[in-house]
C-alpha cells in the first residue's frame, strides 16, 4: 500500500537537450527496458525533433534517484534518445510535416533560430527521491505513467 508520507517527488523544469548531455556524460542513466512501452524508429525520432524545433511542449520525464545518488530515467527514454541521436548527427530530419524545408538536414545544418529552439526547449522532470521504498517507487511510476 502506498503511504502518502512516503511519497517524495521533486518536480522541476529542465532543458531537454541538457538531459541528453547528462546521459551522454554518464551523469544520468537509462533504467532497464522493463518500463519502456515501445522503441522509436527513425521516423518517430524525426517527428519528435520537428516538434521540439517547432517549440511544442514535450512530455514530462519521470526519473528516480537511487540510494547511491544516480539519476535514472524511467519514462522519456525515446525522447531523450531522439535528442541525443540528433545532436550527434546520427540521422537527418525526414518526414517533417510542418517544416518540410528541414527534411534532409542534420543537427549541424540547422540555422540559428531552429537550433536555438531545439537546444532550449524545456520540459518538466518529476524525480522520485532516493529514500523512497522500492515497492512505493514502482507503484508511483505506474501511477505517474497513468497505468493504474
Q: How far apart are CA 51 and CA 130, in angstroms?
A: 32
6 three-class SS: helix
Q: State the pLDDT at residue 21.
A: 94
Strand 71-75 versus strand 61-65 pairing type:
antiparallel
Q: How far apart are CA 54 and CA 100, in angstroms?
A: 12
- Residue-wise pLDDT tens digits, 111-125: 999 999 999 999 999
- Residue-wise pLDDT tens digits, 18-37: 999 999 999 998 876 554 55
Range of the domain at 89: 4-144
Q: How far apart are CA 67 and CA 57, in angstroms?
A: 31
How many domains are contained in the chain? 1
Q: What is the DSSP string of 75-110?
A: E-HHHHHHHHHHHTT-S---S-SS-GGGTT--GGG-
Give the residues of the chain that fall short of pLDDT 70.
Answer: 1-6, 32-38, 132-135, 147-148
Amino acid at each position: 500500500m502506498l503511504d502518502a508520507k512516503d511519497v517524495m517527488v521533486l518536480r522541476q523544469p529542465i532543458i531537454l537537450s541538457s538531459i541528453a548531455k547528462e546521459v551522454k556524460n554518464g551523469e544520468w542513466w537509462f533504467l532497464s527496458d522493463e518500463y519502456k512501452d515501445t522503441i522509436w524508429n527513425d521516423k518517430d525520432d524525426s517527428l519528435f525533433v520537428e516538434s521540439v524545433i517547432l517549440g511544442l511542449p514535450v512530455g514530462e520525464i519521470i526519473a528516480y534517484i537511487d540510494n547511491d545518488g544516480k539519476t535514472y530515467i524511467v519514462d522519456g527514454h525515446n525522447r531523450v534518445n531522439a535528442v541525443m541521436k540528433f545532436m550527434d548527427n546520427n540521422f537527418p530530419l525526414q518526414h517533417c510535416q510542418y517544416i518540410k524545408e528541414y527534411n534532409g538536414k542534420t543537427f549541424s545544418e540547422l540555422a540559428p533560430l531552429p537550433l536555438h529552439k531545439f537546444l532550449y526547449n524545456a520540459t518538466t522532470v518529476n524525480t522520485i527521491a532516493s529514500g523512497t521504498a522500492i515497492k512505493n517507487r514502482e507503484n508511483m511510476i505506474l501511477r505517474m505513467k497513468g497505468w493504474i
